[in-house]
Chain A
Amino acid sequence: MAKVPVQFTLNGSEKAEFVESGTTLLHALRDKIGDTSPKGGCHQGTCGACSVIIDGELRLSCLTLAETCNGADIKTTAGLAEGGMLHPLQRAFLDAFATQCGFCTPGMIMAAKVLLDRMPNPSREDVVEALSGNVCRCTGYEPIIQAVLTAARANSQNAA
């Protein structure tokens, strides 16, 4: 089985691995590199649990082949907290009791992060749209929407 090299930046640090050709980024991250924060909920592109940020854009790591990510800048939820300090989104998810089983949470946070990076003061509709590719079966979504709106408010207050 042909192995191919992949090299990219993951949460700010350089990673280089050999993977079998055709390996998804999700498998490369989880099984080779050991970042298990992206979750494999469907491997179909229908649940969003594997969402990561590649070069600033939200992507599904289950449908992305690792070897197409050479040179890319990849961010996952595992790399979001800096210096032991939770990111405002993470803090907001905690405070809003927006996690139950937690399986969808890393993907939700990734989707929310790209939203807030582009749109610091989103409306509820913007949040709904931004999270629309992510499935949660526990919460009924409302606490998650509230968490993202709260994080946005916290961000804008800090900026002010």
Chain B
Amino acid sequence: MELRKSYFADVRKDGLNEIGQPRPRLDSPGHVTGKTAYFADRNFPGMLHLKMVRSPHHHARIRSIDTSEAEKHPGVVRVLTAKDVPHNVYTILILIQIGPEDETVLADGKVRWKGEAVVAVLAETERAAQEAAAKVKVDYEVLPAVFDMEEALKPGAPIVNEYHGQNYYLYDSGECRKVRFGDVEAGFAQADHILEQSYQSSPIEHAPTETTGCVVAPEGNDRFTCYTNTQAMFFTLDNASIILQMPGSKLHFVGGTVGGGFGGKVDVIVEPIAILAAKLTGRPVCFIYSREEEMQVSSPRAAEKVVIKDGVMKDGRIVARKVTGYTDAGAYSRHSPYGAQKGAAHYPGPYTIPNVWIDTYCVYTNRTPSSAMRGFGVTIGDFALEVQMDKLARLIGMDPLEFHFINAYRDGDMKAHRQPTEGAALIECMQEASRAANWPVAEKYMAISSYGKGE
């Protein structure tokens, strides 16, 4: 890695004692000696193992659940169903007033995705829990499922999630988050070329080497200590408090040392049910996702679809950009309404475009609920935007890198969401990339700066 200190030297104070110094990491000695304590390194005598019985169907009504055989299985201590969960219908962003509550801790009457948690089995050993889980009988009536976002948005599509009542998240702005800037149709009318293209992505798993999980120990005083690898301690504690209808003062979370997250550990999934299990049995409980659960049950990055329509001039100026973004939330909201909205703020990318129209939708389908991942709301949008930029450049016969310079935002430029640009540095990144990659551009582009067009 090279630090190019020549850029922005005038606005940066170097020569500090600790900042900017490559100090060794204080946690690394623990890592290389195997001494770093992750949540699963806590082991308590008498700890129970929680295994989840999951829906084999994408969408189904639960006619009945029979746990009697499982309860009799040797080593089984307790079997939990929806009725055991004090506040079974929740949504994690309710803490920042983004509702409605739309997800069940344990399925109640219906499952909306393949892999949904239905019954929790607690046993003395993992093996006993697995054997008992295989004995839980759930009678399902399979319902029509919808996987495709455009299908889900059509009239008459099966309703995925009754708590919403329609297959999209209803923002205060309506069925999508909107950004309107300038007059996009006038921009298209003025453009030399119009290019409309569609991009899509598949769900992506975070795949941290440490799977999601927690170990809960009763403290003996009505408090419960939850050793967890959550990415957000109080966020998880406060949601657990709501779900369990238990004062937060009864909960003690210990964590902060996590074997990789990448956004995959911000859902509040394992902790509430494990704390409930510890409370109902009086025993320590561990609930750790298997690798298979981590891969196929934990929330992935959402599948997205992005449609971009651009109006571009022969001289390289983009004069109008219309973006329609669809985020596949799967069956439940989790963080997706937030992510779709973040996309609306991110488009039209780091470019100054006078006429912009953005709609971003958060759509419900019977796919695995998606949630945050590294680059949430932006990564797939950047893929779409930057492939589109390449196509536009080629459409007008211009070098793709030079085309970027023409449109790059600079300090003072008004963004589509009506914030003036501050602290831009896109141009300098591209100038340095031009040098590093030996991809020459016209001298005039090497002479400009993010400090603004006036300079």
Contact = CB atoms under 8 A, between A and B. Distances in A.
Direct interface between A and B, CB < 8 A: yes
Interface of A: 1, 20, 22, 30-31, 34-44, 46-47, 49, 76-78, 80-81, 86, 89-90, 93-95, 97, 99-106, 109, 135-138
Nearest to A22: B127
A109 B28 CA distance: 13
19 contacts: A1-B75, A35-B34, A37-B33, A37-B34, A39-B209, A39-B210, A41-B210, A41-B211, A47-B291, A77-B32, A78-B34, A93-B31, A99-B25, A102-B27, A102-B31, A102-B32, A102-B36, A103-B259, A137-B209
A25 to B, nearest CB: 15
Interface stretch (B38-46, B106-114, B415-423): B38-46
B273 to A, nearest CB: 20
B247 interface: no
Interface of B: 24-25, 27-38, 40-41, 43, 75, 125, 127, 206-211, 258-260, 262, 288, 290-291
B291 to A, nearest CB: 4
Given A77-B34, A80-B33, A104 B28 contact: no
Contact of B209 (A35, A90, A103): A103
B35 A37 contact: yes
Contacts of A89: 32
Contacts of B32: 77, 86, 89-90, 93-94, 99, 102, 105-106, 109
B33 A86 contact: yes
B260 to A, nearest CB: 4
A148 to B, nearest CB: 12
A22 B128 CA distance: 13
A104 B208 CA distance: 10
A159 B453 CA distance: 62
A44 B259 contact: no
Contacts of B41: 30, 36
A38 B43 CA distance: 14
A103 B34 contact: no
Contacts of B36: 102
B297 to A, nearest CB: 14
A3 to B, nearest CB: 12
Task: In the A-B complex, list the 9 residue pairs whose CB atoms are closest, starting with the nearest.
Answer: A37-B34, A102-B31, A103-B259, A42-B291, A90-B32, A77-B34, A36-B41, A99-B31, A106-B34
A95 B210 CA distance: 24
A101 B32 CA distance: 11
A87 B37 CA distance: 20
A20 B40 contact: no
A103 B259 CA distance: 5
Main secondary structure of the interface of A (DSSP, over half): loop
A30 B211 CA distance: 16
Contacts of B25: 94, 97, 99
B33 A78 contact: yes
A65 B32 CA distance: 26
Nearest to A99: B31
Contacts of B38: 39, 103
A111 B412 CA distance: 54
Given A95-B24, A102-B259, A137-B207, 4 more contacts: A77-B34, A78-B34, A105-B31, A105-B32
Contacts of B288: 40
Of A34, A37, A137, which is in contact with the most chain B CB atoms at under 10 Å from its CB?
A137
Nearest to B24: A94
B220 to A, nearest CB: 22
Contacts of B259: 39, 41, 101-103
A46 B34 contact: no
B332 to A, nearest CB: 25
Nearest to A27: B126
Contact of A43 (B24, B37, B209, B291): B291
Nearest to A20: B125
Of B29, B209, B290, which is in contact with the most chain A CB atoms at under 10 Å from its CB?
B209
Of A46, A49, A97, A105, which is in contact with the most chain B CB atoms at under 10 Å from its CB?
A105
B121 to A, nearest CB: 17
Contacts of A93: 28, 31-32
Nearest to A108: B32
Contacts of A101: 208-210, 258-260
A50 B207 CA distance: 16
A66 to B, nearest CB: 14
B63 to A, nearest CB: 34
Of B32, B37, B206, which is in contact with the most chain A CB atoms at under 10 Å from its CB?
B32
Nearest to B32: A90
Given A41-B291, A103-B259, A137 B33 contact: no
Contact of B260 (A20, A22, A37, A138): A138
Given A90-B32, A99-B32, A136 B125 contact: no
A36 B258 contact: no
A80 B31 CA distance: 12
Contacts of A20: 125
A94 B25 CA distance: 8
Contacts of A22: 127
Contact of A135 (B37, B43, B209): B209
A137 B28 contact: no
Contacts of A43: 290-291
B192 to A, nearest CB: 42
A99 to B, nearest CB: 4
A31 B43 contact: yes
